[in-house]
Structure 1
Amino acid sequence: MAPGPLNPATVTTTTVLEQCHVSPSPAPAADQPRALPLTFFDLVFWDFPPVQRLFFYANADVLDVQNFQDSELPRFKKSLAAALHQFYPLAGTLPCELGPEGVTPPPEVAFKEGDSVRLTVAVSADDFHDLAGDHPRDTDRLRPLLPSLLPQHGGGSRRQDVLAVQLRCVHEGRGRHHEDVGRHTPLGPADLCTKVVVGPPPPLLDRGVVRDDAGLRDAFVRDHRDLAAAGDARLADWDLSRRPAGGSVVVLATFRFTAKQLARLGSHVEAQTAARCSPYALACGAAWAGILHARRNTDATAPSDACFGFVTGCKPRVSPPIPANYFGNCLGLCRVELGPTTTTTAAKLAAAIWRVIAGLAEEEGRALRDARGWVRCVREYAARRAVTVAGSPKLGVYGVDFGGGWGRPAKVEIASVERTGALALAEDGDGDDGGIEVGLALPRAEMDAFRSFYHQLFASLD
């Protein structure tokens, strides 16, 4: 592309500038394992849609696309290569399917010399400030920002990349969310299917630190094989992009729960239920109540019962504890189920979630008590359109710097919630200490009903 500011009149909606592959640099040592068997923690999420996280950076130092390619892109590639040196399994592949027992081995992440992460560099004529806003945006506009995890064939099995990255220069725009910040081309987003952080201590890859005395790994592999053989496709029941929405476009929006709002809601919940809820439980309870309200007012086919699922960190909850620098899933599944006659106010639902969280500390090993049924339970929850959670305020996504000195992201989204029906939780990107962002994808009619519920909830507390 010729030097000069990005001109939307000369750029198609999506123009790919470069596609390349970035390998770990330096290459991992010869004594590092090349195959990482999936633990039972990994197998719970093995055939889930990948997490697709968008980071929007407004970089005033980049003058135009050519300047970005000449200065920022080489630094990003170098940073990514250095990160992959520490986290080289992310450059590997994962099997897409499980064949019959004895024919195909249990799934594992495999890395071989020459493996790499595919990096796509593109430019878009869309409006950066509008895309990075909180207001409802058509998910069709976000999908081109997401790279694909390409399948690979070989060795008698179909495999898929573990990680893909896309960098896109986006037009500054003059939308309703624009502020006059001078001449610049905002950068973003960079999509990572896994958060990559480089720093001490080095990641621990040894799968042996995950004890499996109950034989959960073998049980989960059997469940996956049985479900595949039966043609079970219930995970797709969460996917809004596949579900007729009554002519309503699916949109993604962000709702902010400030620390003050959560404190007011917490006082209300305690007065109503005697439960002293955490901010996490309060935000989840309010969002869950709003989604149920929206469904019941716009969708005659909505389930009459209410199901909620979230995860809990299990590193300190298992015996012996798993080291903090272990690189792999260590999440347990938690469930809240309410009958069709249960009151589904924000206060009641927040208290119900909090009781499950509080119960984890009351009984050693409780986080894994019902673990044997996790693989099948997830599919049952998808069929019942349970509300679940993706992300966490504890991840600190607004502190992610990809090595270019770009500073704090202007916005972070989990675009894949359109496919998983989950709430996308993060710390408040506006810097409100203790605040929580909740992103969600809904058909536009449901989103309008949810927004009305959200405003009425806090108006009633005032």
Structure 2
Amino acid sequence: MAENPPAAGVLERCDIRPSANTASELTLSLLHFDITWLYFHPVQRLLFFDFPCSKAEFLETVVPKLKESLHQTLNHFLPLAGNIIHPLNSGRPFSRFEEGDSVTLTIAESDKDFDYLTGNHPRVADEFYACVPQLPPAKHTPDVVILPVLALQITLFPDRGVCLGITNHHAIGDASSIVRFIKAWASVNRSSGDSKLIDDKLLPFYERTSVEDPEGLDSIYWNLIKQSRAVESPPISFPLNKIRGTFILTKDDVQKLKHFVLERRPEMHITAFTVTCALVWVCLVKVDGAAETLADDEPEYFCFAADCRGRLTPPLPAAYFGNCLAFVKAESTHGLLKGNDGFLFAAQSVGEAIHKTVNNEKGILDGAENWPRQFGKLIGKRLFGVAGSPRFDLYDVDYGWGRPIKFESASIDADTSMSLCKSRDFEGGLEIGLSRPKEILDAFAAIFTEALGNL
């Protein structure tokens, strides 16, 4: 199998640096929140915009403006222009920006079918990688490995639209941090390069000493993580043999799901997130892999991350830059989830997992010293998860080309997660993205539709 993704026609590849009059160096410790993601696969997001323009207009107007706005925005997001420094012999990894560091921006052109890529129907996963930027290769020295943390690509579909691709190393920041950067860049581009107009709420907060570490988690996590000796995540091999599909829950669908649960379990605290995850989980359990041959007592897991910023003592600002996530694990059995009441059991499991971790009276970090080992034990198990959150609305991003017509989380191809975001077209609705082999996605679509129809 090929190790390189399908390529677009590269028109230019350039390095964009912050202004010379910004700080010449910024070093940030990687805390336990960050170290968790050190060997995780890159996070890849794609934003498609319905923006018909010619190649000449694209190169003469759109690209120069995008470069300048990126240059201005990076002045406020220096870690994204820097690198993660991974010592091989002693010391913990850290983030460092030095004068001269930059972000790689690829300018590309594609002849692929824009309408095909931006639909909700099943689409071949490989087709999207012409728009996905690749992180530059790591640099190796005898003592350290230097890991780039951000790559960007803008791809023109002549006279039809553009796609903005963002790939980041997860250890540099979670969705909250990266989405703030995307929105700040959009704001500057829309306002013709004036970074003074960035909403103060989007500007990052870098202070690391504000983060509590009650149990010495930084050292505990690093001592566990470094034992794997992995430094770079393995490349994706093509063809992926997966199909991407998008599934929509309207506000009415969500309300029906919540009502269905509360009618039968009135004591449960139910949210849109809970019922959405429960529905997808139980549908996947019934169709994914060797579902028909599994024993009833086979464990099933559903995992996701919860933002800790406002739940620490003292709480961190919403603009804290980096990772600040707690792991949440819901657990049930195959027999319970595949049965007639599977959705109820799934909703109960997800709800209880949230209550146990997020609403823990001892604090959200209670038991965090055991999280790496707990989740290490799930490798090879029946595990599903969530990438993204409805809290981060990428459909309101506007670079001056109007709102995106489609968001795709390309990185869900690398694991068994679903993507989740606000619906673009349905107020109060949710958009679910899945990447699975064709027969599994087709079966999921059928059972998902049937489940909604039976409400």
Q: Please tell me the TM-score bracket, short chain as reference.
A: 0.7 to 0.9
Deviation readout 1:134-164 (Å, 9 max, x if unpaired): 1121111112211111123255322221100
Q: 2:348 aligns with which of 346, 351, 363?
A: 351
Contact preservation (8 Å) 1:19, 1:118: yes
2:146 aligned partner: 159
Deviation at 1:185, TM superposition (A): 2.5
**Equivalence for 2:262:** 270
1:54 aligns with 2:54: no
Partner of residue 429, structure 1: 424
- Matched residues, number: 418
Is structure 2 residue 64 aligned with structure 1 residue 69? no
Conservation of the 8 A alpha-carbon contact between 1:166 and 1:190: yes
Aligned to 2:102: 116
CA contact (8 A) 1:146 1:191 kept: yes
**Aligned 1:378-417 pairs, distance under 5 A:** 378-402=375-399, 405-417=400-412
For 1:226, the equivalent position in structure 2 comes to 227
**Residues 264 and 244 of structure 1: CA distance in aligned 2, closer, same or farther (over 3 Å):** same
Q: Deviations over 1:147-202 (max 9, x none)?
A: 1111232553222211000110125xxxxxxxxxxxx3211133243331323143
Matched, 1:283 2:276: yes
Instruction: Determine if contact 1:22/1:118 at 8 Å carries over to the other structure.
Output: yes
Matches within 5 A, 1:27-426: 27-30=21-24, 34-60=26-52, 62=53, 64-95=54-85, 99=88, 103-153=89-139, 155=141, 156-170=143-157, 184-193=159-168, 194-195=178-179, 196=181, 197-198=183-184, 199-201=199-201, 202-228=203-229, 249-274=241-266, 275-295=268-288, 304-344=298-338, 345-360=342-357, 362-402=359-399, 405-426=400-421
Deviates more, 1:325-334 or 1:337-346: 337-346
- Range with bigger deviation, 19-28 or 250-259: 19-28
**Aligned counterparts of 1:386 and 1:98: Cα–Cα separation in 2:** 32
Could you state the TM-score of these two structures normalised by the residue count of structure 1?
0.84
**Please, what is the CA RMSD of the aligned residues?**
2.6
Deviation for aligned residue 1:24: 1.2
Report the Cα distance in structure 2 between the residues aligned to 1:81 and 1:396, rounded to whole angstroms: 24
**Residue 362 of structure 1, CA deviation:** 4.4
Q: CA deviation at 1:297?
A: 6.1
Q: CA deviation at 1:334?
A: 0.6
Structure-2 change in CA distance of 1:433 and 1:226 (3 Å): same
CA 1:128–1:301: 2 relative to 1, 3 Å: farther
What is the alpha-carbon distance in structure 2 between the residues aligned to residue 243 and residue 298 of structure 1? 26
Any gaps of 5 or more consecutive residues in structure 2?
Answer: 1-5, 169-177, 185-198
Matched position secondary structure for 1:416? helix
- In structure 1, what is the Cα distance between the partners aligned to 2:44 and 2:135? 10
Partner residue, 1:457: 451
Q: What is the distance in 1 between the residues matched to 2:90 and 2:59?
A: 43
State the SS of the aligned residue for 1:47. coil
Q: What is the CA distance between 1:382 and its match in structure 2?
A: 3.3
Q: 1:243 offset after TM fit, Å?
A: 11
CA distance in 2, matches of 1:276, 1:104: 47
The question of whether the paired residues in 2 share the 8 Å contact of 1:269 and 1:348 is answered with no
In 1: Cα distance, 2:216 partner to 2:46 partner: 37
Q: Is the CA contact 2:46–2:165 (under 8 Å) kept in the aligned structure 1? A: yes
Instruction: Give the C-alpha shift of residue 44 in structure 1.
Output: 1.3
Letter matched to residue 343 of structure 2: A
Contact between 2:282 and 2:337, CA under 8 Å: does it hold in 1? no
Q: Which amino acid aligns with 2:108?
A: A
Report the TM-score when normalising by structure 2: 0.85
Greater displacement, 263-272 / 117-126: 263-272
1:446 and 2:432 correspond? no
Distance 1:452 1:242 in 2: 29
> In the TM superposition, what whole-angstrom CA distance separates every residue of 1:75-127 from its partner, at most 9, and x where no partner exists?
111111111110110011114x663xxx2321111111110000001111100
- Whether the aligned pair in 1 keeps the contact of 2:33 and 2:324 (CA below 8 Å) is yes
Q: Which amino acid aligns with 1:200?
A: D
The letter for the 2-side match of 1:336 is: A
Q: Distance between the aligned counterparts of 2:237 and 2:367, measured in 1?
A: 31
Match of 2:3 in 1: none
1:180 match: none
Secondary structure (helix, strand or coil) at the match of 1:68 reads: helix
> One-letter code of the match for 1:188?
C
Residue 129 of structure 2 aligns to a residue whose secondary structure is: helix
User: Which whole-Å CA distance do the structure 1 matches of 2:21 and 2:419 have between them?
Assistant: 34
Displacement of 1:295 in angstroms is: 1.4
Contact in 1 for aligned 2:110/2:130 (Cα 8 Å): no
Identity score, percent: 29
Give 3-state SS (helix, strand or coil) of 2:90's partner. Answer: coil
Q: Residues 318-356 of structure 1: CA distance to partner in whole angstroms, max 9, x if unpaired?
A: 111112221111110011111343234223212221222
**Code of the aligned partner of 2:153:** Q
Is 1:20 matched up with 2:14? yes
